[in-house]
């Protein structure tokens, strides 16, 4: 599939670990040579503390890989920083070995014993449907499309006859990358949150079939901000209409919910303008104008 994307004019990188690859990655090297391809081949153990430069790719493919990883959370976090979209597939289960059902609605995972599945010791975590979806959200992915195939009623973690696979189209929310940040934002920190300036703006592009009724903003207010400035007020407008202000008078995490009315028959860009009544200057070593820390902005 990597060579197909290259034929469409895309810059492509193929990543695998020769230690766990059946051919030691000799196959992909032979294909590159035979096809005179410019594809980049990188030998990376994605179960290690590997890294990929942020924003390196528009699309990542992770098909049938997740349940082979000891550290799936780290791998998904790295991909959410590196790629705007991801197509992912993995095995899931609805029942335990032996047929007892997994508790409905619980985000669980089953840790396989060595050789318990398909006589293969490289298999580790089989998630429940809710467990997989929570893992994706916690690693900064939005699930844009989702479906399952196989035994969608009696799937279990160990039986070949009761195999179920989930397929997902994902969009990264790392560093608020799903929004167009127009001004007043600093670069994301390691975990994806961003400092703002006193005034900061964003543009949301809404397709004709989308309707949004609520905006939710997750904010962190450091102790230093309130110690130096006192209570801070955040004002906002959407397409020129004012929203109810939010007042931060205690440090820590805050979640702000505001009603919005974003709907219509055509694709539309909506402009959000935010402003704080005060901002913090860090001092000689950091002359940035600092407002608040925003970890996520979601619309539903």
Instruction: Read off the DSSP letter of residue 46.
Output: T
Among 3.40.50.800, 3.40.50.300, 2.60.40.3080, 2.60.120.260, name the CATH number for the domain at 175-299.
2.60.120.260
Quick one: pLDDT band at residue 20, thresholds 50, 70, 90?
confident
- Alpha-carbon distance of 106 to 296, in angstroms, equals 24
The residues facing 111 across adjacent strands are 125
Q: Where in the chain is the domain with CATH 3.40.50.150?
A: 46-172
Q: Are strands 164-172 and 141-150 parallel, antiparallel or unpaired?
A: antiparallel
Two structure tokens written together for 45 = 């153990």
pLDDT for 70 equals 96
- Alpha-carbon distance of 159 to 179, in angstroms, equals 42
Question: What is the end-to-end Cα distance of the chain in Å, rounded?
Answer: 34
CATH classification code of 46-172: 3.40.50.150
Cα angle 167, 169, 172 (rounded to 5 degrees) comes to 135
pLDDT, tens digit, 9 for 90 and up, residues 29-71: 898 888 888 888 999 998 988 888 888 899 999 999 999 999 9
Residue 93 burial (10 A CB sphere; 0-12, 13-18, 19+): buried
Q: Where in the chain is the domain with CATH 2.60.120.260?
A: 175-299
Q: Which of 81, 80, 82, 106 is nearest to 92 (CA)?
A: 106
pLDDT, tens digit, 9 for 90 and up, residues 155-190: 999 999 999 999 999 999 999 999 999 999 999 988
Two structure tokens written together for 4 = 């197909």
Confirm if 299 and 204 have CB atoms less than 8 A apart.
yes
């Amino acid at each position: 599939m990597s060579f197909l994307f290259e034929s469409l004019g895309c810059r492509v990188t193929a990543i695998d670990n020769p230690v766990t690859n059946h051919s030691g990655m000799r196959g992909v090297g032979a294909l590159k040579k035979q096809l005179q391809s410019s594809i980049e081949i990188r030998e990376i153990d994605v179960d290690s503390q590997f890294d990929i430069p942020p924003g390196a790719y528009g699309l990542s493919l992770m098909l049938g890989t997740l349940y082979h990883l000891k550290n799936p959370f780290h791998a998904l976090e790295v991909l959410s920083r590196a790629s705007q979209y991801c197509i992912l597939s993995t095995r899931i289960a609805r029942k335990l070995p032996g047929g007892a059902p997994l508790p409905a609605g619980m985000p669980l995972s089953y840790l396989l014993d060595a050789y318990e599945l398909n006589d293969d010791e490289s298999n580790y975590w089989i998630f429940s449907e809710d467990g997989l979806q929570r893992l994706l959200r916690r690693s900064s992915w939005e699930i844009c499309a989702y479906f399952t195939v196989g035994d969608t009623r009696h799937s279990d973690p160990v039986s070949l006859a009761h195999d179920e696979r989930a397929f997902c189209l994902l969009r990264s929310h790392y560093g608020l990358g799903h929004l167009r940040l127009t001004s007043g934002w600093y670069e994301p920190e390691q975990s994806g949150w961003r400092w703002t300036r006193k005034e900061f703006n964003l543009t949301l592009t809404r397709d004709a079939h989308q309707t949004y009724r609520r905006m939710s903003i997750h904010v962190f207010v450091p102790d230093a901000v309130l110690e130096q400035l006192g209570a801070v007020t955040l004002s906002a407008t959407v397409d020129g209409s004012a929203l109810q202000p939010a007042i931060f008078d205690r440090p820590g995490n805050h979640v702000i919910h505001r009603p919005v009315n974003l709907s219509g028959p055509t694709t539309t860009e909506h402009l959000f303008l935010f402003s704080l009544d005060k901002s913090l200057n860090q001092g000689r070593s950091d002359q940035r104008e600092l407002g608040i820390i925003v970890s996520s902005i979601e619309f539903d």
